[in-house]
Amino acid sequence: MTPDQLVTQFCAEWIEPDPAKIAEYFAEDAVYHNIPMEPVIGRDAIREFVAGFTAAFGGIDFRVHRQVTDGGQSPNAEESSGVVMNERIDVFTLNGTVVELPVVGVFEITGGKITTWRDYFDMAPIQAATGGG
Question: For each of the chain's 133 residues, which pLDDT tens digit applies?
Answer: 899 999 999 999 999 999 999 999 999 999 999 998 999 999 999 999 999 988 888 899 999 999 999 976 656 656 678 999 999 999 998 888 899 999 999 999 999 999 999 999 998 888 888 787 5
Residues forming a β-bridge with 117: 32, 107
* The total number of residues written for the chain in this structure: 133
d(CA 113, CA 127): 32
d(CA 109, CA 4): 9
Residues serving a catalytic function are: 90, 119
Alpha-carbon distance values, 24 to 20, 58, 72 (Å): 6, 19, 21
